[in-house]
């Protein structure tokens, strides 16, 4: 079946303009003028965009899909703006945590608190006296523990950074298999709502292999994940995954290896040649000898390499090491410098000589741009993420959100790259602003190119039909309105996986609507619970929101029920509940996870009368 898209702006991300696009069997088969394509494909289903904008699905240049999914099981402290709110949030989670369970909290950021400090150990113990507590700093590079957690993990400091912190948190239980499964499903729904059709898991550690197995084994996953194995344990990770590098298995492809060379600027752990204003420099998190060994092994195996570098010292060390390995081996190697916050122009020239490319975390300009002035002074703060300088040197750049550090909303990164405004209203490096088209390239075609993936990031014949429909054309937006661009529909391989209803999708992830997998049609209806509905292991709410369209092709029935602000997933089974001519199959309630306030869900079956069920195909 062919689908003809027309009636709106089409951004192909190529040199070609288009009035219409035809997708067939998951691929783009034609791009051109509307009248010509109507004539060539007379039987195609016509999708009138109604003045909206069609462009390629977003390609995540750098992020952590599995870590983002797991973060949905944690308490978020992102909105805490004072110590009392932070501690009260911890106390509230502690009250609902079973005895022996962990209070695992993320996104704590002392720079956002009015007190501008970490909570003390005494404060943490007061808020959570009898359950182990971990506070993950928003950067992911450091964290805090209460006394119970310190005893449980066997650590002797309540504040740990980098390697010691990463090692310690491996002892925190990850949650039940069902909790993890539903977190992954929720993460996939969120990525779809942001228009992302290809994501990344940029650090697959040994402990994470069980988490990413569903991406290989489950038919319920549609999102493609580009993975990078922990360089320190590459062979073991690949053996545990059981797949060769560079080949798709299910929706996972391991591209290469990831190396962490330093920490985070906002956490005070980035490795700086010129020190922070308080006199410290941060430090390397990987030994220089190990760095060169990892690069050499990857070059010999033909693996791509992503290296986390924030500080200028880390950036220089990576370029030095890569040049050295190239001279010693005589091998070409594709290395991406991740974050590259304090990359200098002289290093860019050397990077071009060895084919190294930067991926900038330019959203720091908004979220921590004011803090950078306090940490580094205005001059250095204005040089963070030098996107325009890199483009002026004809370098390919990408931009990213590094989820779960930030929500994986590509238009947020576009907004930050174009405006470079801070949360406080300042501008961080006006001369490093880039144009809207350059920013869009950095989350589509250039992200695909930097990841060495063909067939995505553009709309052109032969490419995958990975598409996103936006409510407006970003190229016509006032730069200050780029964050307000809304994803109306996300299409993967020609199939709609997300469609927005009336709920608002707000900035920084305040997504109120996450639609389920494999959705083709939409429409909300209300289903009243019949008096005789019952099941031994299922408690039904009095009202459900559901799809009013039964014409859906899918192998999986995924429903959701809300109660007490919790989301419950239900799968197909024996119990049938009528509503108009629609019936929904359910069998059992699964474990709850925090959720937005509403969610529609799939219906697989259409009734021909009460008690008579016909499967829709």
HEC string of 387-418 equals HHHHHHCCCCCEECCCCCCCCCCHHHHHHHHH
Residue 69 lies in a domain: no
In a domain, 89, yes or no: yes
Residues with Cβ within 8 Å of residue 77, at least 6 apart in sequence = 86, 89, 90, 105, 106, 107, 108, 109, 135
User: Which residues does the chain have with pLDDT short of 50?
Assistant: 502-617
Question: Is residue 385 located within the same domain as residue 501?
Answer: no
Is the same domain home to 504 and 541? no
Angle between helix axes 312-329 and 345-354 (nearest 10 degrees) is 20
Q: How many angstroms separate the CA atoms of 270 and 284, rounded?
A: 8
Residues 299 and 329: beta-carbon distance below 8 Å: yes
17 and 107 fall within a common domain: no
Same-domain status, 436 and 296: yes
DSSP string, 198-253: EEEEEEE-GGGHHHHHHHHH-TT--SEEEEEEEGGGHHHHHHHHT--TTSEETTEE
Among 171, 206, 222, residue at a domain's last position: 171
User: What predicted TM-score, i.e. pTM, was given to this entire model?
Assistant: 0.80
Whether the CB-CB separation of 191 and 486 falls below 8 Å is answered with no
Instruction: Give the CATH number of the domain where residue 13 resides.
Output: 2.30.40.10
C-alpha–C-alpha distance, residues 571 and 573, integer Å: 7
Cα–Cα separations (whole angstroms), residue 339 to 54, 61, 261, 306, 362: 29, 11, 11, 10, 8
Domain assignment present for 553: yes
Q: Is cis: bond before 158, omega within 30 of 0?
A: no
Q: Is the domain of 333 the same as that of 444?
A: yes
Helix axes 209-217, 177-193, angle to 10 degrees: 60
Contact (CB, 8 A) for 345 and 267: no
Rounded Cα gap, residues 431 and 444, in angstroms: 23
Residue 456 lies in a domain: no
The Cα angle at residue 116 between residues 111 and 119, in degrees rounded to 5: 105
Query: How many separate domains does the chain show?
Result: 4
Same domain? 375 vs 431: yes
Is 440 in the same domain as 325?
yes
Cα distances (angstroms) measured from residue 428 to each of 106, 271, 432, 520: 27, 21, 8, 43
Q: Are residues 369 and 408 in the same domain?
A: yes
Residues 269 and 390 in one domain: yes
Place of tokens 């576009």: 414
Do 404 and 267 lie in one domain? The reply is yes
The two tokens of residue 530 are 């019949």
CB-count burial class (<10 Å; 0-12, 13-18, 19+) for 309: buried
Nearest to 486 by CA among 477, 494, 419, 495: 477
pLDDT at residue 614 in the model: 29
**Could you tell me if residue 113 is inside a domain?**
yes
What is the residue range of 49's domain?
Answer: 2-56+462-509
**Looking at residue 328, what is its pLDDT?**
95
Q: How many residues in the chain? A: 617
**3-class SS at 315?**
helix
- Three-class SS state of 67: helix
Give the separation between CA 120 and CA 20, rounded to whole angstroms.
60
518 in any annotated domain: no
pLDDT at 604: 31
| CA–CA separation, 38 and 345 (whole Å) | 50
Which of 450, 471, 496 terminates a domain? The answer is 450
- Same-domain pairing of 139 and 42: no
**143 within domain boundaries:** yes
CATH number at residue 341: 3.20.20.140
The CA distance from 516 to 571, in Å, is: 12
Write down the pLDDT at residue 158.
95
What is the structure's pLDDT at 175? 82
Taking Cα atoms as reference points, which of 176, 163, 89 lies closest to residue 133? Answer: 89
User: H or E element: which one contains 260?
Assistant: strand 252-260
CATH code, domain carrying 129:
3.10.310.70
Q: SS3 helix, strand, coil % of the chain, rounded to 5?
A: 30, 25, 45
CA distance 136 to 196: 26
Q: Is 161 in the same domain as 294?
A: no
Tell me whether residue 218 is in a domain. no
The closest alpha carbon to 26, from 462, 449, 497, belongs to: 462
Token match 């590079």: residue?
141
């Amino acid at each position: 079946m062919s689908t003809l898209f027309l009636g709106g702006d089409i951004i192909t991300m190529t040199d070609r303009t288009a009035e219409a696009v035809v997708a067939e069997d998951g691929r783009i088969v034609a791009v051109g003028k509307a009248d010509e394509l109507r004539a060539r494909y007379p039987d195609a289903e016509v999708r009138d965009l109604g003045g909206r904008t069609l462009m390629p699905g977003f390609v995540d240049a750098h992020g952590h899909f599995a870590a983002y999914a797991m973060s949905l099981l944690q308490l978020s402290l992102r909105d805490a703006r004072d110590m009392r709110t932070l501690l009260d949030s911890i106390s509230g989670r502690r009250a609902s945590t079973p005895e022996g369970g962990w209070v695992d909290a993320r996104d704590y950021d002392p720079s956002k608190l009015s007190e501008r400090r970490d909570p003390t150990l005494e404060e943490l113990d007061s808020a959570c006296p009898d359950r182990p507590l971990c506070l993950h700093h928003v950067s992911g590079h450091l964290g805090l523990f209460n006394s119970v957690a310190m005893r449980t993990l066997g650590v002797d400091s309540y504040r740990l950074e980098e390697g010691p912190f990463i090692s310690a948190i491996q002892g925190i239980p990850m949650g039940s298999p069902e909790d993890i499964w539903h977190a992954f499903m929720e993460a996939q729904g969120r990525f779809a709502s942001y228009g992302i059709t290809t994501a990344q898991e940029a650090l697959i550690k040994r402990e994470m292999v069980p988490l990413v197995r569903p991406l290989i084994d489950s038919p319920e996953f549609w999102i493609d994940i580009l993975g990078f194995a922990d360089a320190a344990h590459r062979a073991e990770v690949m053996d545990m995954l059981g797949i060769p590098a560079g080949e798709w298995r299910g929706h996972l492809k391991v591209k290469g290896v990831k190396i962490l060379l330093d920490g985070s600027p906002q956490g005070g752990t980035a490795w700086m040649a010129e020190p922070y204003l308080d006199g410290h420099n941060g430090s390397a998190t990987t030994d220089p000898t190990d760095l060169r060994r990892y690069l050499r092994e990857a070059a010999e195996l033909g693996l791509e390499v992503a290296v986390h570098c924030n500080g200028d010292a880390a950036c220089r060390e990576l370029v030095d090491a890569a040049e050295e390995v190239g001279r010693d081996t005589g091998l070409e190697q594709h290395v991406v410098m991740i974050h590259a916050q304090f990359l200098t122009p002289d290093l860019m020239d050397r990077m071009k000589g060895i084919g190294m490319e930067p991926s900038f975390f330019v959203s720091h300009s908004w979220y921590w741009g004011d803090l950078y002035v306090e940490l580094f002074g205005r001059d250095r703060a204005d040089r963070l993420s030098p996107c325009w300088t890199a483009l002026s040197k004809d370098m390919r750049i990408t931009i990213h959100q590094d989820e779960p550090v930030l929500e994986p909303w590509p238009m947020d990164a576009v907004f930050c790259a174009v405006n470079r405004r801070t949360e406080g209203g300042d501008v961080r490096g006006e001369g490093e602003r880039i144009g809207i088209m350059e920013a869009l390239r950095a989350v589509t075609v250039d992200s695909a190119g930097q990841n060495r993936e063909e067939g995505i990031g553009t709309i052109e014949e032969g490419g995958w039909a990975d598409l996103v429909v936006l409510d407006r054309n970003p190229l016509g937006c006032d730069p200050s309105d780029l964050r307000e661009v809304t994803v109306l529909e996300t299409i993967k391989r020609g199939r709609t996986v997300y469609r927005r209803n009336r709920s608002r999708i707000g900035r920084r992830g305040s997504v109120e609507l996450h639609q389920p997998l494999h959705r083709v049609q939409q429409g909300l209806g209300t289903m009243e619970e019949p008096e005789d509905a019952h099941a031994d292991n299922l408690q039904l709410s009095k009202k459900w929101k559901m799809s009013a369209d039964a014409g859906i092709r899918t192998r999986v029935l995924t429903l959701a029920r809300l109660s007490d602000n919790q989301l419950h997933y239900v799968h197909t089974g024996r119990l049938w509940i009528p509503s108009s001519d629609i019936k929904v199959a359910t069998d059992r309630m699964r474990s709850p996870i925090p959720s937005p306030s509403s969610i529609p869900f799939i219906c697989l079956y259409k009734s021909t009368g009460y008690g008579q069920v016909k499967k829709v195909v």
